Structure formats: structure tokens, C-alpha cells
Structure 1
Amino acid sequence: MTSLPPRSSVPPGPDPDPRLRQAQLQRARGTDRLLRIAIIWLLLLATFWVAQPYLSALWFSATGPRTVTARGDLAPAEKATVELFKQVSPSVVHVFAQAAQRVSPFFAQQEAPVQSGSGVIWDAAGHVVTNNHVVQNASQLGVRMASGEFVTARVVGQAPNYDLAVLQLERPQTALRPIAIGSSEDLQVGQAAFAIGNPYGLEQTLTTGIVSALRRRLPTAAAHEVRGVIQTDAAINPGNSGGPLLDSAGRLIGINTAIISGSGASAGIGFAIPVDAVNRVVTALITSGTVPVPGIGIIAARENETAQLGIDGVVILRTLPDSPAARAGLEGATNDGYVRDVITAADGKPVHGMSDLAAALEDAGIGRDVKLTIERDGRSRTVTVKVTDISQQRRT
């Protein structure tokens, strides 16, 4: 039986090519070197990522005042706005009105609330124009000038139909700068508009916008509307009332008076009484303390009552004694509520309510005749009535 030779006695195979083995070793060393380099770079990147905030704070923090960068000139539009504010702001004042205190036998007397608004210096005599609703029912009035001086004031005249009032400053020490007066007749939709006032008590606030619309109608006192009202999107808020609406030349074109807003803050729909009406009303208030109110001497039914009766027009409840309406033969409703005369037109224009009639009488003018179309018992007739000033009758 033949036996196998021991393992140790088996001759080894042939040796691999030395060059091949050397190449394999070089590739292995290269792979290891690349791996080590990648690990080192990853460690360096991780170290930099961790240290970056600290290095940035160390190298780039401004430990002293920054160098001011040269701005250059303001844009022409900016220069014009800045100059406008410098020119007009001394003519704008802050108006404070304290209501009369109410004494109650059940509660301790409390300090009456103070409401505030804006106003404009009208002339060098110290007359200030503001909204009537700002100073209505006030027992004490005060005005803070743009200089900071506080001056007491009194009411010279009020025109509720136009929501305007004129105050008289009492011995101001600050030099008065009357506002420049413009015109509202030639305004155009789209032109720039600027408002200066004291919204929420923040004095000397400038807002800008455009004239959004013209010839709006704004109701003020009962049965009266201001016509030709200016609509603007310049921000107007509570406290702007009585302040100026200006054109780009810094001239007064309106007195800001109302906004339309669901929240009570500016919604971009503000209204200003046109300066042409302001000029006329303020002149009358300074001269006589009142503004002539065109009328014919009637007491009309409320429009909601007229609508419930299904009547289109102005229902005459009664005529004032010796009034133009009474002399023209117009008759009011009977004691049992029977309607006699209804005004349906004036000078050929339909009359649907008292605002239409008031506008027609204002167009005709005090001392002139107006032709009224009267409906009585289903029949129509025309009556000529002279327009008169009823402001004194209202006051009495």
C-alpha cells in the first residue's frame, strides 16, 4: 500500500510576479492614504462648522460705531414732500374739547371726557377752523400749537350743516402762520393729496395719497348733505378730523371730516369738505357767527316714515307761521295724520327726500324764487316759493 508524502514535503507553487505584488501593495497604500485624507478633511470641516459662529463673532463683530454710508441727495419727490411739511405743519394745531360735566344725585361727580381733533390756523387774528363734531357740546376748549404752546380758545361760530366750526385763540404767544388757501373747483382725480393731523393723539402726522374721487355727497346734520366732497386714500383716522387736506403746492383743498371703515381705522376711504365751501362758510361764521341756511319754512316728515307710507317725495308735516311756504298756500298734515301736500320736484328736478330739496334751495339761493311741484289728493300743481334764510328760526 502506497502512502502519501507528508504536507511539509509538498513542494510550494511558483511565486507570483513581484511587479504585480508591488502594484497591489501600492494600490492598498493609496486607498489607505485617501481614506485618511478624507477623514482628516471631515474632521476639519466639522471643527470649522462648530467654531464658525465663534470665529465670526471674533473677527467680524462691529466693536465700534459703523461708518456712515453717504446717501446722496433726496429724490425730487421726497424733497417736495419734506418742504411741504415744513411749510404747512406750523399752520396745523391740536384741538382739545372737554364736555360739560354731568351731575348725578346717585353717583360721584366724574371728570368729563376730553376729545381731540385737528384744526388749521385760518388768519393772523387767531381764528382756527375745525370740524363741528370735534367741539360740539364742549364746555372748555384748548389748542396746542405746533410749537408746543397750549392756548385756550372759544367758539366763534358753528355750522352743523357743514360740520365746520371756527374757534378764536385767546392771547397766543407763538407767531401765527395762516394756512395757504387753494381751490377745490379744479381738482382732478389722481392728483397727489396730503393730510396733516393728530390721529389717535399723535401730533403732526403726515400721510400721503391721491384724490380718489370728486363730487361725493356727505350727510352731516339732519336733512342736509355737503356736496362736492373730496374722497381721498390718504390715511385719515380718529384725530385727523378738522385737519387739512392739501395739494402738492401745500395749499388747503379740504377739511378732513369723515372716513368709511368697518373697524374705525383708516380703510383708504376718507372724505374732506371742499375748500370752496369752507371758504364761504368760515367767512360767514367769522362775520356773523352763523351761516345762512336756505329754506322755505316747513317741518318735513322723516324719510323712513315717508318710505313706510309708500310716498316718494317730501311730506310736509306743518308750515311755520308767516313763512314763504305758508304764504304760498302749502299745507301740512292734519291732526289725524292725513297727508295734504307732498313736494315731488324743485325747478324741474325730482325731489325724493329732504337732501334733494335742500340741494335745490341752495342752488336757487336765498332771496330767489324756486318752483315746487306739489302733489295733493292725487293732483299735481306748481307753486312759486321764495327761498329765505331759516338759520335764525332754527336758533330760536
Structure 2
Amino acid sequence: MHDRYLSRLFFTSIAIMALLFFWQSLPWIEEAIIAQQATPRPVTPRGDLAADEKATIELFERTKDSVVYIATLKAVVDPWTRDIYSIPRGTGSGFVWDGVGHIVTNFHVIEGASEARVRLSDGRDYHAVLIGASPAHDLAVLRINIPFKRPSPVMVGTSHDLKVGQKAFAIGNPFGLDWTLTSGIVSALDRSMTESNGAVIRHLIQTDAAINPGNSGGPLLDSAGRLIGVNTAIFSPSGAYAGIGFAIPVDTVNRIVPQLIAYGKYIEPSLGVEMDERINRLAQARLGFDGVMILRVVPGTSAEKAGLRGVTVYPDGSFYPGDIIISIDGKPVHSVRDVRDILDHHKVGDTVTLEISRNGRLIKKRIMLEPAE
């Protein structure tokens, strides 16, 4: 009897131990079963990309090879050894302008640099030569010698007919992250921006396509992939992207860049007359006119041939007012800055129509623009 009890107790203990072992092993068994059953999830077919996605992809693939990465170096002198060596200065973007290796970028991208290098999208890297620059328009032209397989120039569009709300695309190298595409819209037109050196750049395109440090000099494109501006700056209280970027309109670029290539600088068009903002404001307050008074007509110019008159000063210190410019090509002018803004849309050799006030009479004169002195 006692033996049967011990035997039953032994087998009961073995059963309990087996049950405990099984219970402890259950998670492992479950995991093993799950592992055997784990397979990749079936892929749900995506279907065709949306039409606007296809268009954006095609635009990027068609245009990216026309965009370049620009790295600049600055020469420094070792104060102990007097050795001269180069250190990295900054990076920016640019784009291919034509088939002979001209690259357009911002002036501030290369300002103060002793050397610049241009890298193409296929990795080829070239030393760049500065051909010309216009600090007033924040534009510069570099040139690289590409012996073969030259990338296509970016397609050029127009900016005078842009509408707020149009799509806008920027390609560049923000923070050194090369060939980055961002998109947005044309947010506003005819903006002005004051640079750190005090220069004012006018008639800018405002866009919310993300523009960050390194995007400067890159192209702003329309939905057809045409150049509509050159990305130049952001407005940001914090220094980071805040949804407001600016681009130099392509109509300005297409007028300035050929001059930079041909002459190395921007040749400002002039009426052939002398004006002064401060004197003009004083004369307006004293004489009560609205316009810009001509102080002097430059001899030998189209203005002299057209019979424009400047201020006449008499020996006793009295003076007779010069002609007062009321409008240029129908656009009213109220200040010397207005005159320069209008002329900035023209080039040397263009002809403009001035409406002037002389002795209370309105007269129209045709003037051919000449290089500013």
C-alpha cells in the first residue's frame, strides 16, 4: 500500500513538472510557430502615378543635368610663414547657360572667393573662371572648359507674364545636399530686397518653393521646365527657411547675362542727363512739381540732340528750372529711383519716349539710351 502511494506520488510529481515545463516553453513554441509562418506581405499594386507626379519627375530628370554644384575657396596667408593657401569658403548652385560652358550663378556665391570649382551631375569637376559680374543685380557668369558630353543649357522662359499662383520648382544644393528638388508656387511679384551691403535688388519673384543656403544661384522653373528666375535669397527672422524665398526674374537675367559675357560687366543705360535724388526732393518741395528735374544735359548725347534742357544758373545765383520728366514710355516717374527702375528694363541702344514738362507745357521726346558715364 505504501509502495503504491509512493509510486502514485512520483508519477504525479513527474506530471506536474512536465506540465510546468510545457507551460514555460509555450512562448518559445508559439514564437517558433510564428517564425515558421512569417513571410513577406503581398504587395498591393500601386497603379499609375498621378499626372502631376509624372510631370514633376519628368521635369526634374530633364533639367537636373543643367544644374551645377559650385564650391568656392578663399586664399589666406599664414601670419608666421607668409605661405598662401586656400580654405573652403562656401557652396552654392548654378546652371548651364549655353553650349560653350558659361555658368550663371549669384554674385554673392562667388564674392570674395579666390577660386571656384563647378561639379556636374555626373560627378565631373572643373576649375571655373569668372567672366563677369553685376553686384547690383546679384548675378555672375563663370566659364568651365568641358571637352566632351556637354550638358544641355536650361530652357529660358519669361517673367513679365508670370501670375501669382503658378507652380514653381527650384533645383539646387541646399546645405550641400546636391541636386535637390523643391516645389511651390509664385507667391508674389515685384518684391524688393535690401542686401547686407545696402544694395537694393528690385522686381524680385517671391516663392514658397523651399530655398535654403546652398540654393543660391540655382534655377527657379515653371511647370514647363523653363527658367523663370534665379534663386537668390530667403526672408527669415531665424535664419532658417520660413516659406519666403526670392528669385531674380529671368527677363532681367536674359538682359544682364549677355552683357556680362560680352563685356565682363553690366553697362547701365542712361538718358544722357544728370539727376540727383536729394536735389530733386528739395526742388519738388520748393516748386511743387511731381517728376524728376533734369539738372544737366551731357554734351554729344541723344538727349542734347533732342533738345532737352537742364537747369540754367545765372551769375547772381538765381536759376531757371530744367525740363521735368513726367513719364517714360507712359510710366509715371516721381523720383530718380523710378527713372532708374524703368531704365533697368532696357539696354543701351533702346529708344524710349519721355514726356516732359517745360514752362507748363507737356512735350514728348524720343531718346536713344546710351552707356552711363
- What TM-score results when the alignment is normalised by the length of structure 1? 0.66
Deviation at 1:148, TM superposition (A): 1.6
Contact 1:210–1:233 (8 Å) recurs in 2: yes
The match for 2:202 among 214, 217, 226 is 226
Aligned counterpart, 1:201:
176
The match for 1:247 among 222, 225, 232 is 222
Deviation at 1:369, TM superposition (A): 6.0
The match for 1:139 among 111, 114, 121 is 114
Matched, 1:357 2:333: no
Question: Which secondary structure state, in structure 1, belongs to the residue aligned with residue 259 of structure 2?
Answer: helix
Aligned counterpart, 1:79:
54
5 Å-filtered alignment, 1:43-54, equals: none
| Structure 1 unpaired stretches of 5+ | 1-47, 334-338
Contact 2:75–2:85 (8 Å) recurs in 1: no
In the alignment, the residues of structure 1 paired with residue 336 and residue 199 of structure 2 have an alpha-carbon distance, to the nearest angstrom, of: 5
Mean Cα displacement is larger for which, 212-221 or 185-194? 212-221
| Structure 2 unpaired stretches of 5+ | 1-22, 314-318
Deviation at 1:234, TM superposition (A): 0.5
In the alignment, the residues of structure 1 paired with residue 187 and residue 26 of structure 2 have an alpha-carbon distance, to the nearest angstrom, of: 55
Deviation at 1:137, TM superposition (A): 3.0
Matched, 1:191 2:166: yes
Going from structure 1 to structure 2, the CA distance change for 1:361 and 1:66 (only over 3 Å counts) comes to: same
Q: Given residue 258 of structure 1, which amino acid in structure 2 is its aligned partner?
A: A
Deviation at 1:283, TM superposition (A): 2.1
Question: Which secondary structure state, in structure 1, belongs to the residue aligned with residue 108 of structure 2?
Answer: helix
Q: Given residue 210 of structure 1, which amino acid in structure 2 is its aligned partner?
A: I
Contact 2:192–2:200 (8 Å) recurs in 1: no
The match for 1:69 among 4, 27, 43 is 43
In the alignment, the residues of structure 1 paired with residue 345 and residue 174 of structure 2 have an alpha-carbon distance, to the nearest angstrom, of: 35
The match for 1:211 among 157, 171, 186 is 186
Question: Which secondary structure state, in structure 1, belongs to the residue aligned with residue 156 of structure 2?
Answer: coil
Aligned counterpart, 1:93:
68
In the alignment, the residues of structure 2 paired with residue 253 and residue 150 of structure 1 have an alpha-carbon distance, to the nearest angstrom, of: 27
Question: Which secondary structure state, in structure 1, belongs to the residue aligned with residue 121 of structure 2?
Answer: coil
Deviation at 1:124, TM superposition (A): 1.5
Question: Which secondary structure state, in structure 2, belongs to the residue aligned with residue 82 of structure 1?
Answer: helix
Deviation at 1:161, TM superposition (A): 2.5
Superposed CA offset, 1:356-385 (max 9, x none): 1202334676555645669xxxx9998979
Q: Given residue 118 of structure 2, which amino acid in structure 1 is its aligned partner?
A: V
Aligned counterpart, 1:121:
96
Contact 2:325–2:354 (8 Å) recurs in 1: no
Contact 1:123–1:177 (8 Å) recurs in 2: yes
The match for 1:159 among 117, 134, 142 is 134
Contact 2:74–2:86 (8 Å) recurs in 1: no
Matched, 1:180 2:155: yes
Deviation at 1:243, TM superposition (A): 0.5
Instruction: State the identity as a percent.
Output: 42
Superposed CA offset, 1:54-95 (max 9, x none): 898666579977446244233322222222211111111111
In the alignment, the residues of structure 2 paired with residue 344 and residue 52 of structure 1 have an alpha-carbon distance, to the nearest angstrom, of: 97
Greater gyration radius: 1
Question: Which secondary structure state, in structure 1, belongs to the residue aligned with residue 170 of structure 2?
Answer: strand
Deviation at 1:285, TM superposition (A): 2.1
Which structure: greater strand fraction? Answer: 2
In the alignment, the residues of structure 2 paired with residue 371 and residue 106 of structure 1 have an alpha-carbon distance, to the nearest angstrom, of: 64
Count of residue pairs the alignment pairs up: 333
In the alignment, the residues of structure 1 paired with residue 37 and residue 101 of structure 2 have an alpha-carbon distance, to the nearest angstrom, of: 54
Going from structure 1 to structure 2, the CA distance change for 1:363 and 1:188 (only over 3 Å counts) comes to: closer
Contact 1:245–1:256 (8 Å) recurs in 2: yes
In the alignment, the residues of structure 1 paired with residue 275 and residue 39 of structure 2 have an alpha-carbon distance, to the nearest angstrom, of: 73
Question: Which secondary structure state, in structure 2, belongs to the residue aligned with residue 170 of structure 1?
Answer: coil
In the alignment, the residues of structure 2 paired with residue 110 and residue 153 of structure 1 have an alpha-carbon distance, to the nearest angstrom, of: 18
Mean Cα displacement is larger for which, 218-227 or 323-332? 323-332
Going from structure 1 to structure 2, the CA distance change for 1:114 and 1:364 (only over 3 Å counts) comes to: closer
In the alignment, the residues of structure 2 paired with residue 152 and residue 279 of structure 1 have an alpha-carbon distance, to the nearest angstrom, of: 25
Deviation at 1:110, TM superposition (A): 7.7
RMSD: 4.6
Q: Given residue 136 of structure 2, which amino acid in structure 1 is its aligned partner?
A: N
In the alignment, the residues of structure 1 paired with residue 114 and residue 222 of structure 2 have an alpha-carbon distance, to the nearest angstrom, of: 34
